[in-house]
Chains A and B, each alone.
Chain A
Amino acid sequence: MKLKYFTSGIVKENPLLILMIGLCPALATTVSARDGFGMGIAASFVLIASNLVVSLIRRYVPNSIRIPIFIIIISTFVTIIDYVLQAYQPALYSVLGVFVPLIVVNCLILGRAEAFAYHHGVWDSFLDGAGKAVGFTLVLGLMGIIRELFAAGTVFGVAVTPAGYREQPMLFMVFAPGAFLLIGILKSIVNRLTAGKARS
């Protein structure tokens, strides 16, 4: 059992802050803590499920048409999560809306199918998918918390700042420039923390 496949996805190979893949949903859907975590969990389900299926059938997937096969598998799971969210989490679905179908083209999921699950066993692929999923969800949730805190003065809809701040908050954090600024700041913090390790 190679537990490192799981743990590396959270810190050392964090999809967003180290590998820098799957950035589009990280910028678009993290306007609030709930939306960020919601998107993270939805994408996590698809990532783990597609990793499992791809590793199961990998010996029977012809090399030349592997990408179309991966995309069919991924879009099947995305459509499933789309129906399930509509049926059981309509409030979350109404917020995530168009971003759920877009999980199909999340490069993190196709990337793990191609780079990992196609070459590894089921158990390892599950650990890899789960680790990357946790790393992805945590960063999405963190961005959602920070942006909601600055732009609305709340976290998960609960007021945490004085009423005066909530009257005139830093609204721009909720717009696209705020998302770019935040991911830049987070990335620079991570670079600072990992700089020593990378050189040694």
Chain B
Amino acid sequence: MSATTPQWVQGRFWMVASLVIVCLVAAFSLARVYNATRPVIEQQRIEATNRALAEVLPRATRFEEQVPDTLWYGFDGADEQVGSVIKVSPRGYAGPIEALAGIGQDGRITGIYITSLKETPGLGLKATEPRFRDRFLNRTPEELRLVQDGGSIDAISAATITSRAIADGIREGIESLRHRLPIGAGKSDPPDELDFSDPARPDQP
């Protein structure tokens, strides 16, 4: 190999120049890739948020961001507000958990969705499954505690910390944003109450 390598390659000048050239080429190619992928990444984030919003407040067809990345109001086809969505990030077992919770105009949970968590696969990671998320449906904020904490949410077995973080996180999130949530503002329409009069508890044995 050394036979084909020019002498100047091992010199002091080229030592600096070669590193500069490599860094410049790397920087230019990274800038190109960054510019090409950035709009796609942004789009993915927006779509992921929209999917999650629609999941936790199914009756809403349009969302309005009230507090950036924290509070949304949801409106139905007739532009009537049907509920709100809050984002909370409590501390889980292995890192922060990010969750969205939909709250109807009557103050009951219309759905929760876990947008990011780093919990143990097979244990805490089960929090993303509908089996766990459905336990929150139609609960009032006051009920959002684990059964062993005096609430009505059944914890995932062997993942109490994760379950508690989500239940407490959503309850505390609702409490801290209560003044911005139009709950019990008097304008609850009768069909809503009929919908919620049947407490679905699919996980009770």
Q: Is the interface of A mostly helix, strand, loop or mixed?
A: helix
- The reply to whether the CB of B177 lies closer than 8 angstroms to some CB of chain A is no
Please tell me if B197 contacts chain A, counting CB pairs below 8 Å: no
Is A80 an interface residue when CB atoms closer than 8 A count as contact? Answer: yes
User: Smallest distance from the beta carbon of B105 to chain A beta carbons, Å?
Assistant: 32
Q: Is the interface of B mostly helix, strand, loop or mixed?
A: helix
Q: Is A200 in contact with chain B by the CB < 8 A criterion?
A: no
Partner of A175, one of B1, B6, B120: B120
Interface 9-mer from B29-37, B85-93, B168-176: B29-37
When the two chains form their complex, are residues A61 and B26 in contact, meaning their CB atoms are under 8 A apart? no
Tell me if A191 is interfacial: C-beta within 8 Å of chain B. no
Contact B1 A58 (CB under 8 A): yes
Interface residues of A in 62-121 (CB under 8 A from B): 62-65, 68-69, 72-73, 75-76, 79-80, 83-84, 86-88, 90, 94, 97, 119
A25 in the interface, Cβ–Cβ < 8 Å? no
Q: Which residue of A lies closest to B39 (CB)?
A: A87
Interface size on B, residues (CB 8 A): 31
* Docked-complex contact B29 and A80, CB < 8 angstroms: yes
Give Cα distance in the complex from A97 to B15, angstroms: 35
Q: What is the CA–CA distance of A119 and B118 in the complex, to the nearest angstrom?
A: 42
Name the residue among B41, B116, B120 with the largest chain A CB count within 10 angstroms.
Answer: B41
Q: Are B120 and A174 in contact (CB-based, < 8 A)?
A: yes
Q: Flag B88-123 by CB within 8 Å of A: 1 or 0 each.
A: 000000000000000000000000000010101111
B5: CB under 8 A from chain A?
yes
Contacting pair B122 A64 (CB below 8 A): no
The reply to whether the CB of B9 lies closer than 8 angstroms to some CB of chain A is yes
Contact of A59 among B9, B11, B15, B122 (CB under 8 A): B9
CA of A174 to CA of B10, assembled, Å: 49
Query: A171–B4 Cα gap in the complex (Å)?
Result: 57
Question: Which of B17-25, B66-74, B179-187 lines the interface with chain A?
Answer: B17-25
- A-B CB contact pairs (8 Å), 26 listed: A59-B1, A59-B4, A59-B9, A60-B9, A60-B14, A62-B9, A63-B10, A64-B15, A65-B18, A65-B19, A72-B19, A73-B22, A73-B26, A79-B30, A80-B29, A80-B33, A83-B34, A83-B37, A83-B38, A84-B37, A87-B37, A87-B41, A94-B116, A97-B118, A152-B122, A171-B123
Binding site for A on B (CB under 8 A): 1, 4-6, 9-11, 14-15, 18-19, 22-23, 26, 29-30, 33-34, 37-38, 40-41, 44, 48, 116, 118, 120-123, 158
